[in-house]
Structure 1
């Protein structure tokens, strides 16, 4: 194949995926394949998927195309055996300043029902691998909801979280009234959603919305370090543990404890559980094989 033909071939996203499949090679994550995001595999062991929201002129407002790209990449990372965890971030100015209001301004109720509007935003929350949000700047409306779809939120010192939909004559539609309440409790969730008030990174950490706060410049690196640490564990067991924690939000305590116990029992059917305990007894590092 001539050089120019090869370059044209490699610049086509669907052909990249086909080529990777045919060669049995690692997936292609080329920035040129996406319009609204940047995608990389990072970390010392190249085991962390990094998604950077990239609509700088719109403060990373979440348009339909951006969310479709995020969901597609999440699925790719989920099926990539080398990727142990995923980080989603934006710019220093904005993680995502909200959903794209211009895109939804003229929607009607009938259109929303027919298209099941925003339903496809759930891809991040449904990912079986751990997803970490690295939030600098504004995370408002849909941006706050996207961060809450992730499993862990790290924030830069300048981060601002809020659900300002009430100021636009509507309410959150991608989990803002549901996940926020589970994160911070009824009183604070009511205050934020009924006033549209924003909270800073320190308050968000105090409320339990954010795990840790870092200087702006080191935030993404810290999130990647966390993802690398998670990625060293058995992917199989990590997925089971994530499912168990998520179950706590959706069941009674008795049901959750039963689910946890049975999942714990299930780990004894895996090679990685045996390897982990054997390595501990033998005082060596475990060699997990995802089996």
Structure 2
């Protein structure tokens, strides 16, 4: 499928989705959010895709934020609908995909950009990356999950400081906070992320889906994550991947998972 604002390419089991609005520092407008939803959905449903990488075009920005011109004159009702629709279409959608999603954060990841990176299952950053949630400087708060996911990743106190000051942190500070998993050079960012994707692809995709579901359950209100873990653990015993994995281990050979 052709897109106006993004690129999507699949190679060797990895689908790379690139926000491609460099003249706007890859800012998220409604059209881009809809295109990202479609691309993530297609990748998640594709039998070819084992890992999804999301990144931004160019070296200046992953995503520099939302396109403010689209909502500067919104009413209370329209503002609430904007957040609800965005979370449904993209941010919550990505967080709950059963295909692993890695954000390769290059340059600025601000506002909705950082919220998109946080919706991914984990993040790798280039050493020129700058991250922040500057929404309160505009008289609004993060509305795409930022007030929820940032404390989960960095802790309540640090999240409060980052959001209240509207300041940015660099890649090394993000690493120290636990906001990103690794920091690398801009030139090595995609290569490093693809190597991690390769390690993921050597394992059972069925078990990884179950693991994502169980981990996410811990952050859902009213859901007992331990019970979800028990259920998913049991489900694994009925899969072909479990049979292959255990037999490979017992026979001291490399597993060849069928993904079923």
Q: Write the distance in 2 (CA, Å) between the matches of 1:177 and 1:133.
A: 19
2:234 maps to: 265
**Alignment partner of 1:274 out of 230, 243, 252:** 243
1:235 maps to: 205
Matches within 5 A, 1:73-88: 73-88=39-54
- Contact 1:61/1:99 (8 A) holds in 2: yes
Q: Write the distance in 1 (CA, Å) between the matches of 2:78 and 2:44.
A: 31
Tell me whether 1:162 sits opposite 2:132 in the alignment. yes
1:19 maps to: none
Deviation at 1:251, TM superposition (A): 5.9
Q: Write the distance in 2 (CA, Å) between the matches of 1:69 and 1:99.
A: 15
Length-normalised TM-score, structure 1: 0.84
Range with greater deviation from structure 2 (116-125 or 55-64): 116-125
- Contact 2:33/2:86 (8 A) holds in 1: no
- String of CA shifts for 1:57-86, please: whole Å, max 9, x gaps: 110001111111111011111111111010
RMSD over equivalenced CA pairs, Å = 1.6
2:183 maps to: 213
SS at match of 1:288: coil
- String of CA shifts for 1:103-161, please: whole Å, max 9, x gaps: 11111123335564424233322321110000011000000000000001000001111
SS at match of 2:176: helix
SS at match of 1:153: strand
Q: Write the distance in 2 (CA, Å) between the matches of 1:55 and 1:88.
A: 14
Deviation at 1:226, TM superposition (A): 1.3
- String of CA shifts for 1:16-60, please: whole Å, max 9, x gaps: xxxxxxxxxxxxxxxxx1110111112xxx100001111001100
Q: Write the distance in 2 (CA, Å) between the matches of 1:114 and 1:175.
A: 14
Deviation at 1:231, TM superposition (A): 2.0
SS at match of 2:237: helix
2:254 maps to: 285
Q: Write the distance in 1 (CA, Å) between the matches of 2:111 and 2:27.
A: 10
Runs of at least 4 residues off by over 3 Å = 112-117
Tell me whether 1:99 sits opposite 2:99 in the alignment. no
Matches within 5 A, 1:14-53: 33-42=2-11, 46-53=12-19
- Choose 1 or 2 for highest CA Rg: 1
Tell me whether 1:59 sits opposite 2:25 in the alignment. yes
1:287–1:117: structure 2 CA closer, same or farther, 3 Å change rule? closer
Tell me whether 1:256 sits opposite 2:222 in the alignment. no
Q: Write the distance in 2 (CA, Å) between the matches of 1:251 and 1:126.
A: 15
Deviation at 1:244, TM superposition (A): 1.2
